[in-house]
Amino acid sequence: MSPRIRKIEASDFPTLLELFEEFAHFEKTPEKMTNTLDKIKAQQEFLKGFIAEDNGTIVGYCTYFFTYHTWTGKCIYLDDLYVKPGSRGKGFGAELMQNVIKVGKKEDCAQLRWQVSRWNAPAIDFYDQLGAEIDDVEMNCTLSLI
């Protein structure tokens, strides 16, 4: 059976929150996960993305948003892409990425951008196979506003 990919729906929020927490642990930064179900519901207009289902069970997700870059114009930014460990290697990640790429092309975006952790060799290999240009130029900057 091929992966089933669909847009995120409000009924997915509790499961997504669990996956957000799981992803934060995978990224070795669980203390940075401060989102809540109430916050997701209140800010759902900003939550754009897709989920991957396997036999009716959510096994992964991706989220994205649109940005404007002065050098290139409108872009789409992949915020998160996460597939549960037991479901990796089955095409879910690739299908999630292809859905974001389709949105970016449909919306006339110049680029799809995202970040990957330096230590995450499997993800780097996955993105390299997609043809992504992976550089080591920029560093993350975060300023808390709350």
Is residue 143 domain-resident? no
Query: Got the DSSP string for the chain?
Result: -PPEEEE--GGGHHHHHHHHHHHHHHTT-GGG----HHHHHHTGGG-EEEEEEETTEEEEEEEEEEEEETTTEEEEEEEEEEE-GGGTTSSHHHHHHHHHHHHHHHTT-S-EE----TT-HHHHHHHHHHT----S----------
Instruction: Please count the structural domains in the chain.
Output: 1
Report yes or no on 141 lying in a domain: no
Q: Residue 108 belongs to a domain with what CATH number?
A: 3.40.630.30
| pLDDT given at position 105 | 96
Over the stretch 95-111, which tens digit does the pLDDT of each residue have?
999 999 999 999 999 99
pLDDT recorded at residue 146: 75
Task: Please give the residue range of the domain that contains residue 82.
Answer: 4-130
Give a yes or no: residue 64 inside a domain. Answer: yes
Low-confidence ranges of the chain (pLDDT < 70): 1-3, 143-144
Domain assignment of residue 135, yes or no: no
Within-domain flag for 146: no
Q: Is residue 144 part of a domain?
A: no
The pLDDT value given to residue 143: 67
Q: Could you confirm whether 127 is annotated as catalytic? A: yes
